[in-house]
Chains A and B, each alone.
Chain A
């Protein structure tokens, strides 16, 4: 806490210094005017030099021209050609004895302005980071296609022991040719360890798309239909979820318990699904609640964070399961349908990560459903799109796995990175600011294929100095042993930062895509 305070004081001191500097580092503007142009002299000049024809000069302060502009009145000194003081006091200098008048004015300079602005920015960021240290940008590997964020990889894998495979639908990707490039970036203070980043392509059915279920099964989907009605606590939520447009339905957390649930009621128009099943397609991503909680956990672990996360590798499956308790308590987006005795859960979707939305389909029981309920933790999910789709049956969708054909870094081929990504026994390790372009060779007629990204790996958050101040082993243990209690305890702290956390998070990203 002391070091945070020191830095804060330093930032404030800097602003003060900047303001002081703006007074001292000014631009000097010197002007000469002839006696005939006396009226054009800069009256802001605190001093006036009157250069006489004989080489002497009056240096006057508190000066002014008399009403006829024939005499200059001021206090100061008369200096000879060697600048020896000849006389001093209050003078009345006849203008016609003067050859040139000289004025000097100090103006603020562009350099000072720039430095003052920088000081302001620095102090502003310092204040933000001091007051909200859990909102600094963290990302896990991010993937861009045509400058659009399309996927984030294995967001929950914050330690080697939690290495996992993540399958993301590139729902908005539009290949323009057979060479399809994804830009892989590391935009936060993290070390990313990527075992592979393969493209999975699946041929689309006529007029339809291919989605993947939470179990990783690819399903053909046709006749996608938006809900006829969407109702949540705030009222009508249909405009937010009826199109895949980035306009998301979201809510805020409960002020007493971050695990408090909410529901969204969906109604679909009756449709003829024939003998085949239907499913609910959901495109969603998390809010920054998970990010906050991960960072808070690391802060509580403090200097022991590395030791604890490393120990997960040797603590066995039970310990790793226990470590995921917080995530399980928060839960995913449960999909419920009416049953004989009430609403029954038929599946759930939602992966960790606040950056890129993922799309999944949850098959529904039976051959049709008009009412669907989504149940989720308040303030945790942002839902972009919901639709009912007719799912294909029969043979499984034939998919093809494509490994990167080319990897470039800074515009140059990187054969070592290519080898690492094509060999699952190796890993590609990236550091903050790293960017790679992964190019895949798509099958002919790429527009007929659905694209998915399968990435495997883990990442390690770099500990932030500010976090160490909160080290508390008891509270750290509580996050894992009593996640429900921890979510209640942390509710006030999160509610305090929740209104601004999105802005602060994106503004604190240090490496842009």
Chain B
């Protein structure tokens, strides 16, 4: 049975749009407008997986609130990372696409055209949607991830890491 850490590394390696965030952790797009928590970040550090809420990030450090508590990790030690800012609604697009394909039954002969068009459009749209909330390094700069950090301005001075609590 692979460890969770190995799962994280494996998921990062596949570059898929999925994430390891706990159920209900990520806000929807609408909720993200008012949520003050950070996104979910998964990092590969020295062949180990690290995951948790993104607290803050600078060019040389990334702070992650893991299950074991907050950690400051030098970015130089991170091989790759993936931040998911909010829930994608790819499943809604999949459902909508399925409905669209079904609805081409109303098109008679032309469904031979419209049904594949729905499938192609839905697949592309779903793929685009699923990747919209995701930012990865090294493809992006570390500072780019700050927009979905709990403290986008950087770790506030005087805040003790051990005092930070995870999202309930």
Instruction: Give the interface of A toward B (CB within 8 A).
Output: 7-8, 10-11, 13-14, 17-18, 21, 24-28, 30-32, 45-47, 49, 51-55, 57, 59, 79, 81-83, 99-100, 102, 104, 106, 109-112, 114-115, 118-119, 121-123, 125-126, 129-130, 133, 136-137, 188-189, 432-433, 464-466, 507-508, 510-511
> Could you tell me if A26 and B29 are in contact, using CB atoms closer than 8 angstroms?
yes
CA distance A189 to B163 in the complex (A): 70
The one of B37, B103, B147 in contact with A126, judged by C-beta atoms closer than 8 angstroms, is: B103
Q: Does B92 contact A (CB under 8 A)?
A: yes
Q: Which residues of A contact B2 (CB under 8 A)?
A: none
CA distance A57 to B133 in the complex (A): 22
The verdict on A111 contacting B110 (CB below 8 Å), with A28-B32, A49-B36 known, is no
> Could you tell me if A111 and B109 are in contact, using CB atoms closer than 8 angstroms?
no
> What are 11 A-B contacts with C-beta separation under 8 Å?
A24-B92, A28-B29, A45-B33, A53-B156, A81-B163, A111-B129, A119-B103, A123-B106, A125-B110, A133-B108, A464-B109
CB proximity of B120 to chain A, nearest CB, Å: 9
Q: Does B167 contact A (CB under 8 A)?
A: yes
CA distance A110 to B125 in the complex (A): 8
Q: 0/1 per residue, B30-46, Cβ < 8 Å to A? A: 10111011000000000
Chain B contributes a number of interface residues (CB within 8 A of A) equal to: 56
> Could you tell me if A99 and B153 are in contact, using CB atoms closer than 8 angstroms?
yes
Q: Which residues of B contact A433 (CB under 8 A)?
A: 112
Residue of B whose beta carbon sits closest to that of A105: B33
CB proximity of B20 to chain A, nearest CB, Å: 21
> Could you tell me if A104 and B125 are in contact, using CB atoms closer than 8 angstroms?
no
> Could you tell me if B159 and A122 are in contact, using CB atoms closer than 8 angstroms?
no
CB proximity of B140 to chain A, nearest CB, Å: 14
CA distance A18 to B163 in the complex (A): 46
> Could you tell me if A122 and B36 are in contact, using CB atoms closer than 8 angstroms?
no
Beyond known contacts A32-B152, A118-B100: 6 more, CB 8 A cutoff: A82-B165, A83-B167, A110-B125, A119-B103, A129-B107, A511-B112
Residue of B whose beta carbon sits closest to that of A55: B156
Interface-central residue, B37, B103, B133, B165, by most chain A CB under 10 Å: B103
> Could you tell me if B96 and A17 are in contact, using CB atoms closer than 8 angstroms?
yes
The one of A104, A136, A511 in contact with B33, judged by C-beta atoms closer than 8 angstroms, is: A104
Q: Which residues of A contact B121 (CB under 8 A)?
A: 114-115, 118
The one of B36, B99, B117 in contact with A121, judged by C-beta atoms closer than 8 angstroms, is: B117
Q: Which residues of A contact B103 (CB under 8 A)?
A: 7, 10-11, 13-14, 119, 122-123, 126
CB proximity of A23 to chain B, nearest CB, Å: 10
CA distance A26 to B33 in the complex (A): 13
Q: Does B66 contact A (CB under 8 A)?
A: no
> Could you tell me if A109 and B129 are in contact, using CB atoms closer than 8 angstroms?
yes
Residue of B whose beta carbon sits closest to that of A137: B109
CB proximity of B58 to chain A, nearest CB, Å: 13
The verdict on A508 contacting B108 (CB below 8 Å), with A24-B92, A115-B96 known, is yes
